[in-house]
């Protein structure tokens, strides 16, 4: 069952990411190179790619427990990342646009469906008992590195992927405050997820 779910979720993940790239190329007036850079500048895209890679590796990896992909904590970290994608979109971004047609389907897959699927997979299969709370700070390296990247890129291009981190419109102080709020949200969700895993699931 685990392998079948991994196959299905990998297929959904790659479909959503590839379809979003095609839609962006079709709708952007910039060159393919510029559009590609913009595409890979979204935390949503990077995290959904990470999810797709995880499930793909899970399909083809034997003796999973000896590999990074199957170690306790890896799935938890990915679940936290994609949960953040879903929550931030629902709270701060959903009201900003009204996608239609295929874009609507892809948008819901990336921000709503896949986060739920990953959470279900985590609930079913993650071994949370060996995972330490201290690992949360290691998991924070990815979103912090992403923040550093978009701030540096934005300082040169004046383009920011999300309005709540747009230094041009908000100023650096407000943008960093917003980033700090999201970081606190990340740490809280990570701690809550581990608490649920250790106290309720007890696998």
Looking up tokens 């196959």 gives 7
Nearest Cα to Cα of residue 42 among 88, 76, 74: 88
Would you say the C-alpha torsion 175, 177, 180, 184 has a positive or negative sign?
A: negative
Residues of the chain with pLDDT under 50: none
pLDDT tens per residue across span 166-183: 999 999 999 999 999 999
| 3-class secondary structure per residue, the chain | CHHHHHHHHHHHHHHHHHHHHHHHHHHCCCCHHHHHHHHCCCHHHHHHHHHHHHHHHHHHCCCHHHCHHHCCCHHHHHHHHHHHHHHHHHHHHHHHCCCCHHHHHHHHHHHHHHHHHHHHHHHHHCCCCCCCCCHHHHHCHHHHHHHHHHHHHHHHHCCCCCHHHCHHHHCHHHHHHHHHHHHHHHHHHHHHHHHHHHHHHCC
pLDDT tens per residue across span 46-64: 999 999 999 999 888 765 5
How high is the pLDDT of residue 161?
92
pLDDT tens per residue across span 186-195: 999 999 999 8
How high is the pLDDT of residue 65?
57
Does the pTM exceed 0.85?
yes
């Amino acid at each position: 069952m685990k392998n079948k779910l991994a196959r299905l979720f990998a297929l959904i993940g790659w479909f959503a990411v590839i379809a979003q790239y095609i839609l962006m190329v079709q709708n952007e007036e910039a060159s393919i190179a510029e559009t590609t850079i913009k595409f890979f500048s979204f935390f949503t895209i990077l995290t959904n790619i990470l999810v797709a890679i995880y499930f793909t590796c899970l399909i083809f990896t034997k003796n999973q427990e000896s590999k990074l992909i199957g170690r306790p904590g890896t799935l938890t970290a990915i679940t936290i990342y994609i949960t953040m994608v879903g929550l931030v979109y629902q709270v701060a971004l959903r009201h900003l646009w009204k996608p239609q047609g295929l874009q609507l389907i892809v948008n819901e897959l990336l921000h709503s469906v896949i986060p739920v699927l990953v959470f279900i997979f985590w609930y079913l299969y993650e071994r949370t008992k060996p995972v330490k709370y201290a690992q949360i700070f290691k998991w924070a390296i990815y979103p912090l590195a992403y923040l550093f990247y978009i701030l540096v890129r934005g300082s040169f291009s004046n383009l920011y992927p999300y309005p709540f981190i747009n230094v041009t419109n908000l100023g650096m102080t407000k943008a960093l405050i917003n980033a700090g709020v999201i970081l606190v949200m990340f740490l809280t969700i990570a701690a809550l997820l581990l608490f649920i895993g250790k106290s309720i699931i007890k696998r």
